[in-house]
Structures are given as structure tokens and as C-alpha cells.
Structure 1
Amino acid sequence: MKSSLVRRGGLLAAVVASVVLAGATPASAAPGDGSAYGVDVNVTLLGQPAVKVGPLAAANTAGPTTNTLASANAAGILTAGVITTEAKRDDNSGAVTAKATTADVGLPLLKAALGTVGVKTVEAVCTATQEGVKGSSTLADAKLGSIGAVDANPAPNTQIKVAIGLVNVATIILNEQIKNADGSLTVNAIHVKLLGGVVGALGSGDVIVSSATCGPAAPPMPLASGAGLWIGLGLLGAIALPVGTRIYRRRAAQA
């Protein structure tokens, strides 16, 4: 019996040791993901075929981590200049950063309701660290026709109603921030939602300009160093100590 217990204790210690050594590899948990794109159009205007463009210049932490597009055009809906995006992860800390910047944006889609709509630069940014996930949007030199100029850094989920006469035909959401079920955050710098199904509607669908999604951050914790080492040693102590104590008591009883 004594030799059987000794062998069993040695086996348990070997298993725990193998866990500690296996934890020496630098990635025990995959860090969070991030993505970004410049333009996404999915609308159906009254009396016209559906228009689907994008997501354009998409970037992802899985690759490509950066992307660039010289210009974008969805006839009668949107025009844009240079789009640049990036989505990067720091494998040491697990921090994620995603950013989308779209230049010289025009929205002829809204001309009938607002007049000329233009923004010099539209940028969405998100970051994920161990402290949490946050995002922001910047609209440089933004003029929304009859609505006028808007704040360069609008508050999250700022909504502007767009009407033709007394009928609301669209909603513009600035710095839209969506908390997803998986803990990630999506930031859409500009989101135009067409309200179909009403008299006088322009159509239905969505136009998004500059979008970034991050996190949550999930850094690896190497088991063979730092906090991971102490967790491993704690596990070893928790398992090995009762076994050693049991062997000692058996020997004392036999004596």
C-alpha cells in the first residue's frame, strides 16, 4: 500500500510539473481582436436597385493589419477621398488599437433634405486594455447642410433627425458606440439610417463612414513567470501536500 501511494504521489507531482512547464510558452490565452473599415453602404433608394458597397479598406488584427484606398464612390449616395485603416495588437500586453480615417466625405444621399453635406476628415478610434475598452470619433470641418457645423468630437450616440417637410426620413448618428455581447466595442464615426416605410421616405438601409471595433483585451499570462508561476506553484502545493500528508500518516500508523 505504501509503495502504491508513493507512486501515486509521484505521478501527481509529475503531472503538475508538466503543467508548469507547458505554461512556459508565451501565449496561454489569445489576446483580443480588432478590426476597422472606411465605408460600408447597404441601401435601397425608392425606385432603384439595392446598392451594396464595402466594407472598404478593411483591416484586422489577423491581417492585413493596415489598408489604404485612394477613393470611394457610391453614385448618388456617398463620395470619399483617401481611406486609411489599421488594427493592431500588442502581443506582450494584449492591448488592441483599431482606427479608420476617411477623407473628403460627401453625402449626396441627404442633399434633398439638408443640402450639401461634407466632412473634411472622419475618424473612428477604439482601444482595448486591461482597464477596459473605449472609443472616440473625430469629425474635422463637418458641415451638415441646413443643420450647420457640428462638434468635432461629438458625444457618444449623438442623434440628428433628418426630415423632408414634416416627415422624418433618416437619422444621422455621430460617434455611434455599440457594446457588443462578446464585450467588444464598435465605434461608427458616422451612421446614416434611412427610415423606409414612411410616406416621402428616401429609401431604407444604412451608410457607415469610418468604423473601428476592439476587444476585449485578453493578454497571455505565461505560467512559468510572474503571476502565472505563483498560480502554478499554488496548484502544486494544493495537490501535493495532501498526498504527502497521507503517506506520512500511513507510516506513523504502521510504526
Structure 2
Amino acid sequence: MRTRTHVRVLAGTALAAGILASAAPAYAALPSPEADAYVVSSDALSGLVAVSPTPHSTYPSGGTQTLVGLNLGPFSTTSVLTATTAGNPADGTSTASATVDRIGLDLGLAQASLTGINTTCNATPAGATGSGTIAGGTVTIAGIPTTLQANAPANTKVSIPAIGTIILNEQTTDANGVLTVNAARFALLPVLNGANLTIGHSQCGGAQPAESVPMINPAVAGATGGVALAGVLGAVHLRRRNAQGTAPTA
């Protein structure tokens, strides 16, 4: 049978356990930081070959990959394409970026030109941030141009008749906190094979620092540790007093 003192002891212990548990910091779900970057990729389109991620950098091992000029699939450019990734397991961070000054696309029914493409992604154990921008761009159908917004807000959608949808500064985050940023993604209509064309791709995710062990957050412990300790000591004191009060007499 539980006495009132037993209940107080259990309550004090539960209070302390709850406070100490809530003080542990939350870390990203990935076991180690990761990053991925490339400048262009596309599915096969109207007889044009698919383009695998080009140039492509992945962390680990990371580093910078460059390509001078490209004429493949729907893409053409004389500019330098650059993709870079890096990471640091010690503090759980990673970065990714992709850039190219100018690139043209031939979509058959339409032509497109984009300038100043740049994406970045920066991740820590607490989360990731990034951006995907173009300095300017147009899509031309039958000689009629549609201007694309420069430095568009995240996930800006532009509908292009007979072509499909262009998503500017596309940003998505998965269940592990990995952020994916595309400066521009063309999602074409089924008549165009429903192809996806991506320009300027950066992806990154943080992780728990390799050298850290989850402990009590000092800021939380400073505010609540005294309360938890007082609860435990108070419960112990009540238990001892109860034991002394019920001890048999000689």
C-alpha cells in the first residue's frame, strides 16, 4: 500500500526526470552531415538525351567540380559551371552551392535563357537555410517572350502555356531536415514527356556533432536544475521523516 509520502517521493522523482529529459538538446536526424550540388540535370526530352547531374559534387568527400561550357541535351552555355560541397562532422555542419553565369535551353516548342544562376545551402545540427536565385530569364514561345522574376521568393510558380510550370527558388525540406534548393526547375507537360529540368541545385543536411554527447542544456539546467534538485531533496527528507516517525518504540 502506498502512503502519502510514497506518492510525494514518486512525484518528486518524476518531476526531476521530466525536467532533466526536457533539457537535452534536439539534434538533426542524420547520422552525419551531407551535401549535394550540381548545375544542370534533365530527364530525356523529345528525342534529346537525359542529362545526369553536371558538374556534380557530393559530400562526403566534397570539393569543387567545374566544367567550361556545355552543349548537351536541352542545355547550352559557354560559361563556367561550378558545383561545390563541404562538411564538418566535428560540428555537424555542411554547405553546398551551384553557379553559372548564363545558360540556354531548347525545349522544342520554346526556348529559354537564364542568367546569374546561384544556389546556396547551409546546414547546422539545428536546421538548414538556403536560397536559389537568377539575375534574369526569359521563356520564348512563337517569338513571344515571358520574363522570369529575378531573385524570386521561395517556391514562386510560373505557368507557361503549352510548356508546363517553372518553379523559381524551389525549396523543400525532408523528414531528416535535409534542405533542397533549386534556382529553377521546369516541370513540363505530359506531351513533353513530363520531363523535369533542373538548373542550380544545392542540398544539405546537418547532424549531431561527432564529438558531442547529448547532455543537459546549460541554459535550461541553470533555470530548472535548482527546482529539480529541490524536488528530489524534499522527497528524500519527507521519506526519512516518515520513517523516523513510524519506528517502533522500545
**Cα distance change of structure 1 residues 100 and 90 upon mapping to structure 2, 3 Å threshold:** farther
For 1:211-247, what per-residue CA distance to the aligned partner results, in whole angstroms no more than 9, with x for missing partners? 2335578787863672264466665555454235313
Query: What does residue range 1-255 of structure 1 map to in structure 2 within 5 Å?
Result: 29=27, 33=33, 35-46=35-46, 48=47, 51-54=50-53, 56-60=55-59, 63-71=60-68, 73=70, 75-80=72-77, 81-88=80-87, 97-108=95-106, 110=107, 112-115=108-111, 117-127=112-122, 134-145=129-140, 146-163=144-161, 168-196=162-190, 201-214=191-204, 223=215, 226-227=218-219, 229-230=221-222, 238-239=231-232, 241-254=234-247
The CA distance in 2 between the partners of 1:223 and 1:127, in whole Å, is 25
Q: How many pairs does the alignment contain?
A: 219
Is the 1:37–1:212 Cα contact (8 Å) retained in structure 2?
yes
For 1:165-219, what per-residue CA distance to the aligned partner results, in whole angstroms no more than 9, with x for missing partners? xxx23322211122434454422111011222xxxx3333211111233557878
The CA distance in 1 between the partners of 2:187 and 2:163, in whole Å, is 9
**Cα distance change of structure 1 residues 28 and 180 upon mapping to structure 2, 3 Å threshold:** closer
What SS does structure 2 have at the residue aligned with 1:152?
A: coil
**Cα distance change of structure 1 residues 209 and 234 upon mapping to structure 2, 3 Å threshold:** farther
Q: What is the CA-CA distance between 1:147 and the residue it aligns to?
A: 2.4
For 1:147-173, what per-residue CA distance to the aligned partner results, in whole angstroms no more than 9, with x for missing partners? 25433201222223334xxxx233222
For 1:2-55, what per-residue CA distance to the aligned partner results, in whole angstroms no more than 9, with x for missing partners? xxxxxxxxxxxxxx9xxx9xx9xxx98458745231235341333x48625126
Is the 1:34–1:98 Cα contact (8 Å) retained in structure 2?
no
Give the % identical residues. 24
In the alignment, residue 174 of structure 2 is paired with which amino acid? N
Is the 1:99–1:124 Cα contact (8 Å) retained in structure 2?
yes
Q: Normalising to structure 2: TM-score of the pair?
A: 0.64
In the alignment, residue 107 of structure 1 is paired with which amino acid? L
Q: Normalising to structure 1: TM-score of the pair?
A: 0.63
The CA distance in 1 between the partners of 2:192 and 2:26, in whole Å, is 51
Is the 2:28–2:127 Cα contact (8 Å) retained in structure 1?
no
